Amino acid sequence: MSKMRVGVVFNPNSKKNRLRPERLGALERLVQGVGEVRRTAHVDDIEAVVHDFLDRGVDHWVADGGDGAFHWLVNAAARAVRERGRGEAIPPILPTRSGTVDFLAVKAKLQGGAEDLIAALVAGVRAGVPQPTMAIDSLRIVGKAGAKAGRPGETFDRIGFAAALAGVGQGFFDRFYGHGDLSARGIVTVVGKILGSAALGSPALRWVPVPSTARAYAEPVFAPQPLDLWLDDDKIDLPNFRAVNIGSIDIELAGVFRLFPFAKDDGVLHALVGDPGVVDVATNLPRMAAGKTLASPRMFERPVRSMRVVARDGASIDPVIDGELFFGLEDALVEAGPRVRVLRPAASLS
Order of all β-strands in the sheet with 340-343: 35-39, 6-10, 60-64, 93-95, 340-343, 133-136
Three-point CA angle 288, 294, 295, nearest 5°: 135
3-state SS class at 94: strand
pLDDT tens per residue across span 206-246 = 778 778 888 889 999 999 999 999 999 999 999 999 999 99
Percent with pLDDT over 90 in the chain? 72
Name the residue with higher pLDDT: 65 or 163.
Answer: 163
Q: How far apart are CA 331 and CA 116, in angstroms?
A: 42
Q: How far apart are CA 188 and CA 123, in angstroms?
A: 38
pLDDT tens per residue across span 260-290 = 999 999 999 999 999 999 999 999 999 999 9
Q: How far apart are CA 64 and CA 11, in angstroms?
A: 7
Based on the number of CB atoms within 10 Å of its own CB, is 87 exposed (0-12), middle (13-18) or buried (19 or more)?
exposed
pLDDT band (50, 70, 90) for residue 349: low
3-state SS class at 328: coil
290-298 long-range contacts (CB < 8 A, ≥24 apart) are 290/258, 291/250, 291/252, 291/258, 291/259, 291/261, 292/261, 293/261, 293/262, 298/274
Three-point CA angle 290, 246, 111, nearest 5°: 55
Q: DSSP of 202-254, one letter per residue?
A: SGGGTTS---HHHHHTTTTTS--B-EEEEETTEEP--S-BSEEEEESS-EEET
Q: How far apart are CA 10 and CA 317, in angstroms?
A: 30
Q: What is the pLDDT of residue 348?
A: 54
Please give the backbone phi and psi of residue 141, each rounded to the nearest 5 degrees, phi first: -110, 120
pLDDT average, residue stretch 171-184: 85
HSE toward the beta carbon, residue 282, CA cutoff 13 A? 13
Q: What is the pLDDT of residue 98?
A: 74
Neighbouring-strand partners of residue 163: 246, 321
pLDDT average, residue stretch 13-20: 72
Which amino acid makes up residue 282? A
pLDDT band (50, 70, 90) for residue 96: confident
Q: How far apart are CA 221 and CA 243, in angstroms?
A: 10
3-state SS class at 120: helix
What is the set of domains in the chain, with CATH numbers? 6-137+340-348 (3.40.50.10330), 162-321 (2.60.200.40)
- Judge whether 217 and 142 are in contact, CB under 8 Å: no
Helix (H), strand (E) at residue 104 = helix 103-107
